[in-house]
Structure formats: C-alpha cells, structure tokens
Amino acid sequence: MRNDQPSYRRDIDGLRALAVAAIVVHHAFPAVLPGGFVGVDVFFVISGFLITRILVEARDEGRFSWGAFYLRRARRIVPAYVLVTLVTVALAAWIEMPRLLVQTGAAAAASGLFLANVLAAQSPGYFAPSVQQNPLLHLWSLGVEEQFYLVWPALIGLLSLGWLRRARTALALGLLAASLALAQILVAGGGGVAAFFHLPARAWEFLAGGVLALGLAPPAADRRVANLAAASGLLAIGWSLIALTEASPFPGVSAVPACLGAALLVWSGQDAAPGATTILRAAPVVAVGRVSYALYLWHWPLLVLAADVAQQPLTIVQRLGLMVLSLGLAALTWRFVEQPLRRGPADRPWRRLGGLLLLLLAPVAAGATLFLSHGLPQRLSPDARALARLEETDVNPARKACFEQADRATPQQCRFGAPPGSQGDQVLVWGDSHADAVTPGVVAWARSRNWSVGEVARGGCPPLVGVRVRAFGRLDRGCEAWAARTLERIATDRQLTLVVLAARWPLYRDAPPFYDVNSPRVAVDTAGQPGVRPALSAALTATLDAIARRRPDLRVVVIGPVPELTLAPPECLAQQRQLGGRAEVCAWVEAGPPLARATPAEAEIRAAVEDRPGVAVVFPTETLCRHDGCVAVIAGRPIYFDDDHLSASGARRLVPSWMDDGWRRLAAPLGEPPATARR
C-alpha cells in the first residue's frame, strides 16, 4: 500500500503505521479496537493523495509515461504480494482440509488477477465467520486499489486536457460525491456487501486524498490552523476505531469520519509539521509505516491459519506472538524483497513490466490447481482422507435420489421401510437439507414400529407455506410450488399419521453469523409481496394451519435448529490426524455462537407451537449443548458431516430419542398411531 512520492513525508509513513496498527490489532483483538477495519479506509485516502500527486505533476510537466507509471506500481506491489500469497498457499496446503483449501485456491487465483474483492463480494460479507476463515481475504483491498490505479490515471489524463484542466478539481469532487452517494444507497438498500468490496462505492475514499493533491485547499498558512486540523483528524480516526463495530452500516457516511480525519492529517502536513502529529513522525512509528505494506500482507494469513491449526480461539499470548512474528516477517520482506526490487533500470518499461506481471501467474496457477483438484485430497493420509470424506460417505443413503435430484424423485423412490409396491407412508419428513440429514434417524425410529417413512426435502426450501425463497438475491428456489405439492401429498395420503418438519430454521430468519463456508445466502419474502419478510413464527403458524385444514387428524413433530458449530468435526479430526494433533479439540465447541444463532429461531418456533393440539416440538440444543459447550463428537465419531448437518450415523444415534420425546408430548401410546388416524 506504499506509493512513490516526489518528496518524502515522515508523517505519511506515520499515518500508514497508525492505519496498519489499527487493522492488525482489530484482527487480533477485535474487542480492543472494534472499528479497526477503518485502517483500510485511511490507506485508501493516503493512496489517493500520493498517486494523484504523482499523476498530476507528471501530466502538468509533460513527462508522464504510462509504462513508467505502471512499472513503478508493479515494482512496489507485486514482489511482496506474490511472495506472501505463495507462502500462504503452501501453508494452507499443509494445514487446511480439502473443503477449505478449495476456497483458498479460489482466493489465490483471484488474487493473482487482483480480483480478490470481486470474489469476496459473492460472500455473506467481510465479517461473516465463514469468510473470516479465508487466509487471503485481506487481499480484497489490494484488488480495489489496483482497479483504482487502472481507472484513475486515464481520468486524470482526460481531466488535464483543455478547459477540463481548470475544472478538474470540481469534477473530481463531483465523482467523490457520486461515489459516496452510491455507497450510502447500497448500504441503506441492503447492498452493503457490494458497497464494501467494489471500487465504485469505495472510489470516493481515494478521491478524498486525490482532491487534496489537485489543490482543493492550499496548504495551511498558519501553524495553528495546521495543528487544529491534525488534532481533529486524529480525533476523527480515533472515534471511528472505538465507535464503529462490525454491525455498523459500512461503508458510506459511517466511513466519512475516518476518511476525513486521514485527509485532514495529510493536508495539515503539506507545508508544516504540526505538534499534534509529532507521534506520527517519531522514528519507531515511521519504521512501522515503512513496513506497513508487508505487515498488512503477513498478519492475516498467520492469524487465520494458526486458528485453523488450533481449532479453537487463540490465546492472548498466541495472538501477541503472531503479531510479533508478522512484524518480523514484514521487516525482512521490506529489506530483502521490497527494497532491492523497487529500484532498477527504467528503460523499456513495458518489457520490464511484462516480466514482473508474469510473476502473478504463479498464484493464479497455484490457486487454480487447488481449486480444480478439489483441495488435493490425495495429499492426506488414508485415515485423514476417510475422515475428510465423511461429508460424502456418512450421509443419508438416499441423499442423491431424494435430495440432490428432488425435482425428479418419485414418492416410491423416497419411501423407506415399506413393502415393495405399497402405497402411502405413516411418516413424512418435510424440509430442506437438514430434513434430509435427520431422515436416517426418523427411519430408525419408525422401523421399530413397522412404519414407513417418506422424504420430501429440497435444498434451501423450508417446510413453510406462503413464502418465496431467493438465493443470492435473485434466483427463486421454487419453494412456493414445492410447498403446494407437499400439501397436496399430505392431503391425499390417507395412511399418513405423522409429519416431521425439520429445517435450518435460523437461515430463514436471515440470522448471522454464517459458520459454513458454503452457507447459502437466501432472502425470504412473503409470497406475492416482494421485499416483505415474514416472521418465522407467522410462517410456521400458517403452515400448521394449512396442514390442519387438509388433515385435522395428523400429528406434527417440529425438530428445532440443530446447533451450527464453529468447526466441522470430520475435517477437524482429519486435520488433527494429519498434523498429529489432539482429537479432543474437535469433540465440542463453545456454546455461545451456536446458541446465539439457534435461540431466536427457537423462540419463534415456540410461539407458533405453544398450546397447539396435535403438534410437538423438540429442540436438539437441549440434548447437544450443555455446560457452556455443544457436542460435536460422541464415542470418537462425529455426529455431523459438516458444521451444521447431522451425519447419517449421528442422526441414527440422536433422532430416535428426539422422536420418542415428541411422540410422548403428542399424548399418543408409543408404537400406535392416534385413534383418528386408525379409523
């Protein structure tokens, strides 16, 4: 994130140190600096100022060269960038299991093309736990910066022509205002992820520094004015570091204090050395500023990969140690990579630039290899590979036919425990992928009663009527029609005694956080009312009413949210086996995050089911989460196949007791259908 300057300013290196320190401390100790992520915004302002100053002076003096400009940028950015990316990929290939390694591979390939921000924009958001598992996530900011470097020089060239030159500061201000307005509109309209990661909504931050270089305000003539501006800038940034949190609507106007503060600090030091910035000009601070780019590159992969190895929150001592290690690696990278390679002959700049850009093919190739090979599973030992493959092997045996190909499945294909050629089922499991996951356990429970079980499960479709589910904001999952067909089946199957409703209930409340790297992004609307989100309790009440109208004799068991873990037990065990770690770290997770996700959904389910005859609800959290922890492994075997779906063996172990509990609450003799169903 460092840029060449015509005249060196110690205070700008000090401001870089402030920015990178805020980011590193925020990532290592988020409770200490909850708004430390604004350090990136400070970097953007600095970058905009310095790059614009270089461009304007070269243009105005008639010595601008496209090749020379991009050669300087490449020499500054590419070598350390490629080094850290390749080291991260190598460490990830040693540490990560295939599912995560695929994500790292995609990020590496995108990063080599400076498109990490575009890839990250497809995620649930920067602060989503699944995204935070990406050791190359931080390269999104380099993607935005490089895209700015591609666009802004051409605009400066245009604005330096003829009469536009006299108006270029005003026109740049207009672009700044338009970009800020776009960011705020996106954030206010639910497009915060796009605003966070894409250049159009971030360009105003670069332009906040750029308009200063264009001469928006002359340097302060009075030292007292410069000192007041510098002090105000420090206070604005300090306020942002403390007051903003990951829940703040960001960027947009909430990013203005940090960017304005950075701009004030840059402006105040143009022709003065304000007393308020003495700390920024101190030698140790300046030294950190000089290695800030390398420190930014190194700190995040180390934190993420160390947490992946530990499979539990890192201790304070561990995080402090990683910060020190990051600083040491940054110093070495600056001394032996950045400094030697940033200087060199400037003749034939395009040829030299081409040679540097060829280096970017290395992370692209490495990332593509990891992605296309599905995470290189062959690198694992046989035991570790078997554990890592539980997501494919310890699942509902009928998953492919009845869930993955649900649209083509017939009732006969998805009927379990029934004699060949028979019609109808005593039990019907209805829901999404979580329903498919619990089906083996329902089958085990029903088999002891000689009942057959049918499955109606569709990915991303809750067992709810009157709702429309959209994936990634646009793609309609077809859940309305699916629910209508299921209700028709319920109405016509006169043998049916019990309906089991199971789903990833918190997902349909749009309830963060998402722990699963592959967690879908869905939006739930009331049918016929786009943009109107129904309460889960109201949607479930409407569904139970619809079932009762068609079959008042039916009983219903609702299986509440299965705890969504902060690790995937099979992968955790595979990793411990591969690295020689302790399997005990995979056996349970801290209860706080899973319960924070499940509890609000449980409250809404209770509200829908309370005092309703013929309906019972069971909550897996009551079985699996106790004593501040949620169980992930029982008797050495994972009860999940990923971080939120029960494995087939886990379902067979757990679900029968849940079904017994629910059936008792329905006040029916075990093993017998209700009297109304026998008639």
Q: Domain locations in the chain?
A: 10-375, 390-678
* DSSP letters spanning 556-588: EEEE-PPPPPSS-HHHHHHHHHHHT--GGGGSE
Task: Please give the full DSSP string across 459-521, using - where no structure is assigned.
Answer: TT--S-SSEEEEETTTEE--HHHHHHHHHHHHHH-TT--EEEEE--GGGGGT-SPP--TT---
- 463 close to 486: Cβ distance less than 8 angstroms: yes
The confidence band for 153, taking pLDDT boundaries of 50, 70 and 90, is: very high
Taking the mean position of all CA atoms in its chain, how far away is CA 78? 26
Taking the CA atoms of the chain, what radius of gyration do you get in angstroms?
A: 29
% residues pLDDT > 90 (the chain): 64
Which of 435, 428, 644 is CA-nearest to residue 551? 428
Q: What is the pLDDT of residues 125-147, one digit of tens each?
A: 666 666 678 999 999 999 999 99
Q: 390-678 has which fold?
A: Rossmann fold (3.40.50)
Per-residue pLDDT tens over the stretch 216-244: 888 887 889 999 999 999 999 999 999 99
In this structure, of 89-98, 416-425, 525-534, the range with the lowest mean pLDDT score is 416-425
Contact 611, 655 (CB under 8 A): no
pLDDT digits (tens, 9 = 90+) for 608-620: 998 899 999 999 9
pLDDT > 80? residue 579: yes
* pLDDT value at residue 510: 67
> Are 616 and 501 contacting, i.e. CB atoms less than 8 angstroms apart?
no
- Please provide the average confidence, as pLDDT, over all residues in the chain: 89
pLDDT confidence of 1, banded at 50, 70, 90? very low
638 strand-pairing partners: 633
In angstroms, rounded to a whole number, what is the distance separating the alpha carbons of residues 329 and 309?
20
- Rounded distance between C-alpha atoms, residue 526 and residue 539, angstroms: 9
Q: What is the mean pLDDT of residues 45-73?
A: 91
Contacts of 195 (CB under 8 A, 6+ apart): 182, 183, 186, 187, 201, 202, 251, 252
Looking at 136-220, list the stretches that DSSP marks H as alpha helix, in order from N- to C-terminal side. Answer: 140-159, 164-188, 192-197, 203-213
Q: What percent of the chain is helix, strand and coil (3-state, nearest 5)?
A: 60, 10, 30
Predicted pLDDT at 2: 42
Q: How many helices (H) and strands (E) does the chain have?
A: 28, 14
- Count how many Cα atoms sit within 13 Å of the Cα of residue 575 in the half-sphere of its side chain: 26
Query: Token pair for residue 318?
Result: 């561990």
pLDDT of residue 409: 80
Q: Lowest-confidence range among 33-42, 124-133, 144-153?
A: 124-133
pLDDT computed for residue 40 by the predictor = 97
DSSP string, 405-424: TGGG--TTTTEES--TT---
**Quick one: average pLDDT of 425-447?**
94
Model confidence band, residue 424 (pLDDT cutoffs 50, 70, 90): low
Look up residue 669 and give its amino acid.
Answer: P
Closest CA to 385 of 602, 578, 618, 599: 578
- Per-residue model confidence (pLDDT) at position 79: 95
Note the pLDDT tens digit of each residue in 278-303: 999 999 999 999 999 999 999 999 99
Higher pLDDT, 476 or 505: 505
pLDDT at residue 668 above 70? Answer: no
Task: Tell me the per-residue pLDDT of 628-640, one tens digit each, with 9 for 90 and over.
Answer: 899 999 998 999 9
Mean pLDDT of 401-410: 84
Q: Is 80 exceeded by the pLDDT of residue 421?
A: no
Q: How confident is the model at residue 313 (pLDDT cuts 50, 70, 90)?
A: confident
pLDDT per position as a tens digit, 160-205 = 888 888 888 999 999 999 999 999 999 988 888 899 999 999 999 9
